[in-house]
């Protein structure tokens, strides 16, 4: 396969090397290729063009360099965005005497409430708590927290936390985004100061220290040293070595049948004598390695599909470097989905394709489906979207890190290094669940001295990828900030595409506790009126909800079908009316595929060597091993 000329690799740092951007160049020099995404606007007809002096535009280059340097220090977040949010909140709070009076009254009532609890506790150690932690807060579940003085310590903290939530929300005049950001940052500070994080205030740590004679702290120190050494050396966490793709994970048999500069296409070997005639093409997100859908044999969605009698193809994305900085969303569409689709239809001729997209890969698949519909190419038999947003107006907690200031800051950081690094992305995701992913881990690993056993999903989560500068900038601006796709302004090859043009049947899966793609945001796909949509809501989060293999305990889902042309039902009404079903949603999805599929036929050959798709090596291929 040949690469498209628009995707040629260039040194986007221009004549001046990494420290000088194109803004430092004299205006009579040609602009560097990294400026292609920001063309010079046409002059207005009612304005005379100003005189252009042949002097370098120094401040812009200095700004970018400064932002990039600060971005490395802050791991990505923009100080200006945080300052603006707190300024908005504090100014409006200062102009709201009624709100301030309400907070003073709340503070007094909570003090009285806490005092009454302390008095009752003196006479009845088993008296009920004055406040209970939230359902997702497991920090104070241990019975030792009910003993004095630890009950007073954690109850006072929870009352204090509740007061701060009241103080950072409901202030008139504060923008919704700033209110969410202030509340989030205050919550991060409170989580850091939680009594569970300190040896003297945590009864579990104290009891363990006494019982083990301090060996837990010694083990915790050793754990901290190992983790620091691995982090500073750019190594993955301890234990991930046991989960290497092609050896213990991503072991479903298959062959790489196509490779270009952006993807490898894997064709998996059938495990049944006959297969359905319509192949399945899986498009994972390039923010993750593909093998989350092919982990261990027991929880591999790929293995489940081939055992169900389907021909399965998988895209494996290249992990970008600084040389790939100019890869655009349009390149991901053409070199990714469309090239893979052409290969699948060549290997399995005369068959339409069941396409599946996960997370960001599903958003790109929706763009591809709308593009194919615009071009009147009827190549998709069905579309399955797993935890996929198409409307980014309410993108959940991830939008806390996305506003004009933050995107501008990230762009300068990516401009300097050519990509968004793994630490910037993983840091943002960890902050969204800081209790689970940061502080509880510190307590468990370093204070209690206990290592959490590494699992295949944890090892995969540590196998991170990068995002090229131009693509990620376009993604943040065109999808998150402008919401161009859902509002019909997103252009492919110079013309807009519309989601409502998609007529293939849709199977859409969302997860109840998904903090990346909130299920109510995913549900907005139902606003498309011209296609048949089956919507399924499963238990779990963004990853664990999708990995819901048959036989896994505690799994359930809700599912309904909405034929084309029927009336819209809001998400809360839908949830109340859809009865829960026990078990894995995988079986329900395969049943849906079976209803759409033709009678089984002989499996297709591996690749099509005569047509340029010869076997290039066994799965999982080369790209998944890139670091």
pLDDT digits over 408-453, tens only? 877 877 877 788 876 666 666 666 677 777 889 999 999 999 998 9
Distances (CA, A) of 503 to 170, 366, 531: 43, 11, 5
Alpha-carbon distance 235 to 104, whole Å?
50
Q: Per the structure block, which two tokens stand in for 9?
A: 């690799």
Q: pTM for this one? A: 0.85
Residue 616 phi/psi, 5-degree rounding, is -110, 10
Q: What is the dihedral of CA 179, 183, 184, 186, to 10 degrees?
A: 140
Alpha-carbon distance 321 to 26, whole Å?
28
Query: For 444, which DSSP code?
Result: I
**Long-range pairs for 43-50: beta carbons < 8 A, 24 or more residues apart:** none
Alpha-carbon distance 184 to 402, whole Å?
14
Q: What is the dihedral of CA 545, 549, 550, 552, to 10 degrees?
A: -70
Indicate the CATH number of 254-421+466-625 among 3.30.40.230, 3.40.50.1820, 1.10.10.10, 3.40.50.1970. Answer: 3.40.50.1820
The pLDDT value recorded for residue 491 is 96
- Where the chain has pLDDT below 70, the residues are 1-61, 67-68, 71-77, 422-432
Q: Per the structure block, which two tokens stand in for 267?
A: 């064709």
Other Cβ atoms less than 10 A from the Cβ of 393: the count is 12
Q: Is 591 left (phi over 0), alpha (psi -120 to 50) or beta?
A: alpha
Report which of 293, 299, 267 is spatially closest to residue 281, judged by C-alpha positions: 267
For residues 531 and 563, the answer to whether their CB atoms sit within 8 Å is no
Under 8 Å CB-to-CB from 213, ≥6 apart: which residues?
A: none
Work out the end-to-end distance of the chain between its first and last CA atoms, rounded to an integer number of angstroms.
24
Alpha-carbon distance 33 to 415, whole Å?
12
SS3 call for 450: coil
Other Cβ atoms less than 10 A from the Cβ of 206: the count is 15
SS3 call for 139: coil
Query: Is there a cis peptide before residue 372, judged by omega within 30 degrees of 0?
Result: no
pLDDT in tens, 587-613: 999 999 999 999 999 999 999 999 999
The pLDDT value recorded for residue 544 is 92
Distances (CA, A) of 137 to 6, 180, 191, 428, 568: 50, 19, 11, 20, 35
Catalytic residue, chosen from 7, 130, 166, 359, is 359
pLDDT in tens, 112-133: 999 999 999 988 988 999 999 9
Give the torsion sign (CA, 401, 516, 325, 230): positive
Other Cβ atoms less than 10 A from the Cβ of 10: the count is 15
Other Cβ atoms less than 10 A from the Cβ of 295: the count is 26
Query: For 420, which DSSP code?
Result: E
Alpha-carbon distance 524 to 522, whole Å?
5
Is 130 a known active-site residue? no
Report which of 275, 278, 269, 283 is spatially closest to residue 339, judged by C-alpha positions: 283
Under 8 Å CB-to-CB from 582, ≥6 apart: which residues?
A: 555, 556
Strands (E), 124-239: none
Q: Which helix (H) or strand (E) holds 182?
A: helix 176-192
Distances (CA, A) of 113 to 44, 118, 130, 457, 581: 66, 9, 7, 44, 42
Give the torsion sign (CA, 349, 351, 353, 354): negative
Report which of 68, 72, 56, 55 is spatially closest to residue 19, judged by C-alpha positions: 68
């Amino acid at each position: 396969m040949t690469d498209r000329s628009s995707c040629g690799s260039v040194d986007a740092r221009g004549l001046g090397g990494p420290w000088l951007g194109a803004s430092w160049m004299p205006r009579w020099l040609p602009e560097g290729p990294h400026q292609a995404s920001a063309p010079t606007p046409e002059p207005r007809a009612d304005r005379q063009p100003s005189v252009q002096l042949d002097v370098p535009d120094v401040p812009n280059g200095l700004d970018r360099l400064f932002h990039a340097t600060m971005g490395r220090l802050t791991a990505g977040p923009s100080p200006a965005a945080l300052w603006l949010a707190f300024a908005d909140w504090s100014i409006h709070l200062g102009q709201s005497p009624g709100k301030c009076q309400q907070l003073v009254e709340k503070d007094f009532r909570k003090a009285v409430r806490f005092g009454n609890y302390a008095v009752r506790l003196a006479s009845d150690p088993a008296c009920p708590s004055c406040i209970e932690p939230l359902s997702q807060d497991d920090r104070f579940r241990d019975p030792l927290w009910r003993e004095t003085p630890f009950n007073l310590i954690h109850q006072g903290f929870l009352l204090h936390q509740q007061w701060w939530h009241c103080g950072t929300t409901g202030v008139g005049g504060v923008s919704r985004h700033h209110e969410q950001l202030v509340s989030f940052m205050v919550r991060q500070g409170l989580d850091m100061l939680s009594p569970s994080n300190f040896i003297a205030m945590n009864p579990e740590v104290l009891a363990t220290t006494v019982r083990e004679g301090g060996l837990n702290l010694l083990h915790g120190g050793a754990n901290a040293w190992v983790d620091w050494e691995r982090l500073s050396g750019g190594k993955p966490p301890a234990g991930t070595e046991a989960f290497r793709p092609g050896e213990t994970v991503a072991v479903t048999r298959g062959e790489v049948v196509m490779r270009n500069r952006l993807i490898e296409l894997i064709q998996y070997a059938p495990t049944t004598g006959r297969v359905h005639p319509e192949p399945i093409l899986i498009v994972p997100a390039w923010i993750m390695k593909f093998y989350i859908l092919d982990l261990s044999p027991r929880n591999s969605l790929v293995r489940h599909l081939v055992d169900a009698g389907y021909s399965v193809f998988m895209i494996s994305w290249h992990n970008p470097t600084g040389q790939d900085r100019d890869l655009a969303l349009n390149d991901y569409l053409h070199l990714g989905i469309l090239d893979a689709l052409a290969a699948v239809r060549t290997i399995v001729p005369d068959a339409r394709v069941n396409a599946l997209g996960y997370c960001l890969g599903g958003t790109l698949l929706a763009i591809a489906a709308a593009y194919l519909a615009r071009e009147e190419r009827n190549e998709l038999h069905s579309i399955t979207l797993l935890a996929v947003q198409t409307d980014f107006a309410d993108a959940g907690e991830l939008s806390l890190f996305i506003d004009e200031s933050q995107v501008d800051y990230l762009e300068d950081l990516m401009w300097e290094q050519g990509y968004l690094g793994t630490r910037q992305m993983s840091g943002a995701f960890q902050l969204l669940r800081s209790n689970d992913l940061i502080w509880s881990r510190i307590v468990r690993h370093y204070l209690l001295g206990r290592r959490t056993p590494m699992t295949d999903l944890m090892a995969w989560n540590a196998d991170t990828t990068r995002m090229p500068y131009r693509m990620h900038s376009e993604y943040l601006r065109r999808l998150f900030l402008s919401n161009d796709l859902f509002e019909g302004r997103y252009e492919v090859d110079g013309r807009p595409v519309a989601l409502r043009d998609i007529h293939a049947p849709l199977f859409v899966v969302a997860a109840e506790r998904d903090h990346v793609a909130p299920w109510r945001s995913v549900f907005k796909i139902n606003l498309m009126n011209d296609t048949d949509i089956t919507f399924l809501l499963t238990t779990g989060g963004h990853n664990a909800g999708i990995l819901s293999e048959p036989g896994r305990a505690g799994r359930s889902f809700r599912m309904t079908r909405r034929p084309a042309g029927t009336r819209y039902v809001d998400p809360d009404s839908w949830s109340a009316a859809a009865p829960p079903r026990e078990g894995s949603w995988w079986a329900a999805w395969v049943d849906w595929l079976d209803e759409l599929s033709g009678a089984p036929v002989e499996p297709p050959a591996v690749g099509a060597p005569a047509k340029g798709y010869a076997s290039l090596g066994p799965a999982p291929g080369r790209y998944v091993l890139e670091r």
